[in-house]
């Protein structure tokens, strides 16, 4: 009998729900490059409304929305400030340098959390020898920070400082709606702290494709031009925009279920011998956990889990990542927790006492 697969590698592995597939199959479409796709236009209108911005633009990926945002804020020879472990700096191939001639200045945070005191002395003076500091980028929730929600008051303080200093502020909000679900602070209240905001539909919201960038209408008009340059102009994209639109309309509130399931998984890891949570406070749907001894690797541990139907990601020699999402139920998460515990116990029993 086939082993049931419980895929916890990422919240990007979700499949469209039947209702989402129906919305996609029946979507009205047109040529969006010519401004004639009604479903994409409605998605952009609703996105802007939810985020409290003048306008929004649909793009294939969060990497593209982030990189277009950097290009909007910065000219070649400019720099932006970001947290060392953020997605823009680590997981987008240094596209800011390759595509836009921009430099990143990373600052180490606590689980992705930066404070104003770390930033306020970093703006470069007006000097021909130096790059020009033009932008601050924050990520909320912070992926490599274990799904941490940035403290609202700290973000607000950074926002006030950036605007008083005359530099831009951009939010990589790929999982912004997880922050909303965790805090009860509305997306619009988070968004108002930023000039531009990127959100992703294909993570916790469960759409198959797509992200959006929101901001001032004039900026989004310019963003459309940059999107075309980067190869992101799409024709009858209402078919995929319909999935994102359905997700935005129906899947935001249910993110709290993923957070509750993450707590179930965290409890199982805490009680498993030879394992520990990398970040004890699990705030949303992302968990990092690691082996504490025995000389075996995370790759070996994940292979043992996969043989029993549980998929997680290897992050380093001893560290793994697991995410809860739309396509795993509480019962499946409980089963995954039992499997993790049983593999950990078997490994613990096989480790010599002096290892």
Q: Which tokens in the block code for residue 198?
A: 């990127």
254-350 belongs to CATH 3.90.1150.10: yes
Give CA–CA dist 96/297, Å, rounded.
34
pLDDT of residue 351: 57
pLDDT of residue 173: 98
**CA angle at residue 297 from 294 to 303, to 5 degrees?**
120
18-250: CATH architecture:
3-Layer(aba) Sandwich (3.40)
Q: What is the 3-state secondary structure (H, E, C) of 103-122?
A: EEEEECCECCECCHHHHCCC
Q: Contact at 8 Å (CB) between 273 and 67?
A: no
Give CA–CA dist 180/143, Å, rounded.
15
Question: What letter does residue 262 receive in the DSSP assignment?
Answer: H
pTM of the entire structure?
A: 0.95
pLDDT of residue 294: 65
Q: For tokens 């200045």, name the residue.
A: 105
3: pLDDT confidence band, cut at 50, 70 and 90? confident
pLDDT of residue 347: 81
pLDDT of residue 251: 98
Phi/psi of residue 245, nearest 5 degrees? -65, -45
pLDDT of residue 295: 74
Q: Contact at 8 Å (CB) between 11 and 322?
A: no
**CA angle at residue 155 from 153 to 161, to 5 degrees?**
105
344: helix, strand or coil: helix
Write out pLDDT tens, residues 223-281: 999 999 999 999 999 999 999 999 999 999 999 999 999 999 999 999 999 999 999 99
For 50, 111, 174, 216, the CA distances from 151, given in Å and listed in that order, are 21, 12, 17, 25
* Strand duo 132-139 + 168-173: pairing: parallel
Domain extent listing, the chain: 18-250, 254-350
Q: Which tokens in the block code for residue 311?
A: 């998929």
In this chain, the answer to whether the domains covering 18-250 and 254-350 adopt an identical fold is no
Write out pLDDT tens, residues 270-314: 999 999 999 999 999 999 999 997 678 999 999 999 999 999 999
pLDDT of residue 214: 98
Half-sphere exposure of 6 (CA within 13 A, CB side): 23
Which residues fall within 8 angstroms of residue 326, CB to CB, at 6 or more apart? Answer: 11, 14, 17, 204, 206, 251, 254, 258
Give CA–CA dist 23/38, Å, rounded.
13
What is the arithmetic mean of pLDDT over 114-130? 95
* Burial (CB count <10 Å: 0-12, 13-18, 19+), residue 296: middle
Give CA–CA dist 153/276, Å, rounded.
30
Q: What is the 3-state secondary structure (H, E, C) of 4-47?
A: CCEECCCCCCCCCCHHHHHHHHCCCCCCHHHCCCHHHHHHHHHH
What is the arithmetic mean of pLDDT over 317-331? 97
């Amino acid at each position: 009998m086939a082993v049931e697969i419980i895929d916890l590698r990422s919240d990007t592995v979700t499949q469209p729900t039947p209702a989402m597939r129906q919305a996609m199959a029946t979507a009205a479409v047109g040529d969006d490059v010519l401004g004639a796709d009604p479903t994409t236009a409605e998605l952009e209108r609703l996105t802007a409304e939810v985020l409290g911005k003048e306008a929004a633009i649909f793009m294939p990926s969060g990497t593209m929305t982030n990189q277009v945002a950097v290009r909007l804020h910065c000219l070649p020879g400019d720099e932006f400030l970001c947290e060392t472990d953020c997605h823009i700096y680590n997981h987008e191939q240094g596209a800011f340098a390759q595509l836009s001639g921009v430099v990143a200045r990373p600052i180490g945070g606590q689980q992705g959390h930066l404070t104003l005191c770390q930033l306020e002395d970093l703006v470069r003076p007006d000097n021909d020898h130096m790059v020009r500091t033009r932008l601050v980028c924050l990520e909320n929730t912070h992926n490599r920070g274990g799904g941490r929600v940035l403290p609202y008051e700290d973000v607000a303080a950074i926002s006030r400082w950036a605007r008083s200093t005359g530099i831009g502020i951009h939010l990589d909000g790929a999982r912004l709606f997880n922050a909303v679900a965790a805090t009860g602070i509305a997306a619009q209240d988070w968004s108002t702290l930023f000039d531009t905001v990127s959100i992703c539909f294909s993570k916790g919201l469960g759409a198959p494709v797509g992200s959006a960038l929101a901001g001032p209408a004039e900026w989004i008009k310019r963003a459309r031009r940059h999107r075309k340059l980067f190869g992101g102009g799409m024709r009858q994209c209402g078919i995929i925009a319909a999935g994102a639109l359905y997700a935005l309309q129906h899947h935001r509130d249910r993110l709290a279920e993923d957070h509750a399931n993450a707590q179930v998984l965290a409890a199982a890891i805490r009680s498993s011998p030879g394992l520990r949570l990398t970040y004890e406070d699990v705030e949303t749907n992302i968990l990092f956990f690691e082996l504490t001894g025995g000389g075996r690797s995370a790759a070996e541990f994940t292979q043992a889990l996969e043989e029993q139907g549980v998929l997680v990601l290897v992050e380093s020699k001893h560290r793994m990542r697991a995410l809860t999402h739309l396509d795993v139920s509480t019962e499946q998460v409980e089963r995954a927790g039992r499997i993790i515990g049983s593999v950990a116990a078997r490994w613990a029993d096989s480790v010599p006492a002096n290892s």
